[in-house]
Structure 1
Amino acid sequence: MSFTLDPDRPFDAAVRKVVVSQLEDAIRMLKKQPAGIHEAIHDARKKFKRVRGLYRLIRPAAKDFAREENARIRDLAKTLSADRDAAALIECARYLRLNAADGNADMALARLEAVLIARRDATALSDDALQKKAKAAVGACREAIAAVEKQDFDERKPEKAIAKAWRKQLAAAHVAVMAARAEATDENFHELRKEAQTYWMFCSLVAPVWPTALKAKRSDAKALADLIGHEHDLSVMLVLLGGPDAPELPEEARRICRDQALTLRSRLRRQAVKAARKVFDDEAEIESAIVKTLWRKRGWQGQG
């Protein structure tokens, strides 16, 4: 289903349609598992992120509900996270191999990948345990659907609620960009990634009222979030390689893997800051005011 709010529908109906469609998609994935349980969990977690993004956007129209449901979906995603975290490390090792400086680096990274795969297989939950988690997640999704179907949202001025959330989010993004430029820490880039993820979801949800601009902004913000996603995985990898639970590798291979991860992460961080300055170029007050005006005009047209 399309991840957009329909400004021509009553606000209640528009919100419910998006939430229900995303959660029903997650339920289908977790039940049918066309590509296996692991991929089903990965895809369902993507749907959960989208629902949480929507609840951030409409929070001013139903503060308590949005806060409580955001927490529900967040906790639901966490119940399915352990297996995904191990898979992300393996994907990170493969990403490093694609960017390996030379044959020696590729061989060291190949050893790292093999060790990470063996570790995942040794510690992974059984299929029965994963199926139980998936079944419980389906139940939680149904509870979340029931909650949104009972909720009444403030429909008097939805454009005001959207603009308020938009202004707050974009202002936070500007702060995150400045922090990442000032100090390249894991925490600062993690925060910048969250702001980019939220922004691309906001742009997607509101795109019908400003299609050309918001679709372009969505694309740029999504690319930024993906870029910092690789940066985040590299940061997690570096913590692992330097910690007490580091994979068992020859010291030289470990050193090469760390050097490769550090070099690539530095490059990605420079690219991310440059891209973020473009993505979050507009003033929060101005952009939110434009969104507010366009939503209000579209709503009036839909009522006429």
Structure 2
Amino acid sequence: MPYQIKRSESVQHAVRRIAREQLTKAIAEIDDSLLDRHKVIHQVRKRCKKLRGLIRLVRPALGKTYGRENDALRDAAGLLSDLRDASVQIEVYDQLLAQYASPAQREACKEIRQQLARRRERIEGGEIDRCLAEFRQRISAARARSSKWKLTASGFNALSGGLGKTHTRARSSLQAVLEDTTTITLHEWRKRIKYHGYHVRLLKGICPELLKPYGQVLDRLGEALGDDHNIAVLQDTIADMATHRSHQHEIEAFGKVLRRRRKKLQRAAIPRGQRVFAEPTTAFVKRLHKYWKL
């Protein structure tokens, strides 16, 4: 079934159902030996993020269980973060080089590609299977616990607190970006947008003709900020690498290309975000409450 709360079921039942579905799919992906291990890592980490978004939506009603489960899911995903980052850097590097680098820059940057590949090999070094096995054990335990989760509220009352908190944090993070646009503030804003986007997906069924396009705008905004962050991480990695002096000019020129690309992404994302979050949190929550009642 979709990652969505059905109006015909209780919120508690929906939360338990969605959690079990996502965790069961993650376990199945790990157990499927035909799937590429790097794709599996990417997919199961996404499922952890979706689950953390789910429990954030009912955070006040979930009580102390929220903190325990959020920590458990965060720590489980953390087992795979270095493995995923090492693969992402190569993917981002190849994409950016193909799209924005000149032939001379591509030739000069071959050495960086080799260093990134060696770095991934060092990080992986037989760790993939071990990390996935431990990750599987942890999420299997989380799946067993999810069937006993209890909410202290029902209906929209179980949702409104988490919905409002996430929307408020996304608006506050945008304000931080406007005051000081840095890699840190942009990344924090992206994280808040992602969680808000999960909440919109979970509630899409109450008014799909309005919430579906809104969710798509959030997805595009999150992707743009994600691209910006990936470039920033790659810039830091390249800066830390020792490269041959004869290639320094081309590598510095490629660095300028990356900086221009980041500026373009930010110039598009920030005004879009201002429009998305122009509505105050109280008004947004009230509007969705009306959809829920209808």
TM-score grouping bracket, smaller chain normalisation: over 0.9
**Aligned match of 1:258:** 255
Shift of the 115–253 alpha-carbon distance from structure 1 to 2, 3 Å rule, reads farther
* Matches for 1:18-29 after TM superposition, within 5 Å: 18-29=18-29
Q: Does 1:248 align with 2:243?
A: yes
Identical counterparts, % of pairs: 23
2:274 to 238, 257, 277: 277
Instruction: Give aligned pairs, total.
Output: 292
- The amino acid across from 1:19 in the alignment is A
2:265 to 264, 268, 284: 268
Residue range with higher mean Cα deviation, 104-113 or 73-82: 104-113
TM-score normalised to structure 1 length: 0.90
Query: How far off its partner does 1:182 sit?
Result: 2.5
The letter of the residue matching 1:113 is: R
Distance 2:274 2:221 in 1: 10
Structure 2 equivalent of residue 43 of structure 1: 43
Superposition deviation, residue 193 in structure 1: 0.5
**Runs of 5+ in structure 1 lacking a partner?**
299-304
TM-score (norm 2): 0.93
Pair 1:194 & 2:194 matched: no
Aligned to 1:150, the other structure's residue is in SS state: coil
2:128 counterpart of 1:133: no
| Residues 99-147 of structure 1, C-alpha deviations (whole Å, 9 max, x = no match) | 3153333334444333312332244221xx3212212211111111111
CA RMSD in angstroms, aligned pairs only? 1.8
Structure 1 CA distance for aligned equivalents of residues 112 and 128 of structure 2: 26
| Counterpart residue type for residue 60 of structure 2 | P
Match of residue 219, structure 1, among 216, 219, 232: 216
Post-superposition offset of 1:181: 2.2
User: Which residue identity does 1:218 align to in structure 2?
Assistant: G
- Out of 230, 233, 252, the residue aligned to residue 233 of structure 1 is 230
Cα 1:275–1:34 change in 2 (3 A) is farther
The 2-side partners of 1:109 and 1:43 are apart by: 30
Q: Counterpart of 1:291 in structure 2: which amino acid?
A: L
Which residue is 1:57 aligned to?
Answer: 57
Alignment partner, residue 94 of structure 1: 94
Matched, 1:207 2:171: no
Runs of 4+ with deviation above 4 angstroms: none
SS of aligned partner of 1:99: helix
Within the candidate set 174, 187, 207, 1:177 is matched to 174
Checking the alignment, whether the CA contact within 8 Å between 2:231 and 2:262 is kept in structure 1 is yes
User: In the alignment, what sits opposite 1:121?
Assistant: 121
